[in-house]
Amino acid sequence: MSDIICPECGDKKPLSNSIAFDDKVMELLGMVYAIKCKKCDSIFVTELRISVPATEEQLKEVKETIDKEFKKIKK
């Protein structure tokens, strides 16, 4: 995974992560990270990192869910 740049202060955050899951039970469409920058104290969400090809409808649903959940965090 590539580094993440804080949109507020421009600080570069190294990101290296892996996730293991049973592909017989679920399909990983993509992932995002909710990050709090300790340099400037801002909270932001990374772009959707797509792990496997997903349909446009699936991506739309994922993005809507992310937006809804992020609004809960911001409160």
pTM of the entire predicted model: 0.64
Other CB atoms within 10 Å distance of the CB of residue 11:
13
Dist. CA 5–CA 44, nearest whole Å:
10
Query: pLDDT tens, 34-46?
Result: 889 999 999 888 8
Residue stretches of the chain with pLDDT short of 70? 1, 17, 51-52, 74-75
Other CB atoms within 10 Å distance of the CB of residue 30:
16
Determine the pLDDT at residue 19: 76
